[in-house]
Amino acid sequence: QVQLVESGGGLVQAGGSLRLSCAASGRTFSNYVMGWLRQAPGKEREFVAAISYSGDNTYYGDSVKGRFTISRDNAKNTVYLQMNSLKPEDTAVYHCAADRSDLVTVTHTFGAWGQGTLVTVSS
């Protein structure tokens, strides 16, 4: 199973930016579709973004389109989430996720998860 470790979370003011990173190990990184999901207190888990094996295709949840950008570096076994124009409603624990199947770009049911990193956006 692939292991995932997120970093880059923190406290930021509304309108600011953060860049999350997720380092993967244990399996061939380029064999996995990578994604980000988030969960705010008292709310259900929400799909944020996904990226195809090579990085050619990206997918976003409606609430982050135009503000967030997912990217990956297969040489570094790392996936990133650049978050701009942050809003208080973006406050959540952000989890990196991975799956061998590209169906997850539709189902969002990733098989492997990281522990998450907390992003807090103050108003």
- What per-residue confidence (pLDDT) applies to 94? 98
β-partners of residue 97 are: 35, 113
Torsion-angle region of residue 67: left (phi > 0), alpha (psi -120 to 50) or beta? Answer: alpha
CA angle at 54 for the pair 52 and 57, rounded to the nearest 5°:
40
- What per-residue confidence (pLDDT) applies to 88? 97
Structure tokens at 44: 């259900």
- Mean pLDDT, rounded, for 80-94: 98
Q: Is the pLDDT score of 11 beyond 90? A: yes
Query: CB within 8 A of 28, min separation 6: which ones?
Result: none
- Mean pLDDT, rounded, for 20-34: 95
Mean pLDDT of the chain: 96
- Would you call 122 exposed, middle or buried from its count of C-beta atoms within 10 A (0-12, 13-18, 19+)? exposed
User: Per residue in 46-80, pLDDT tens?
Assistant: 999 999 999 999 999 999 999 999 999 999 999 99
Indicate the pLDDT class of residue 1, thresholds 50, 70 and 90: confident
- Mean pLDDT, rounded, for 86-97: 98
- Mean pLDDT, rounded, for 29-47: 96
- What per-residue confidence (pLDDT) applies to 27? 86
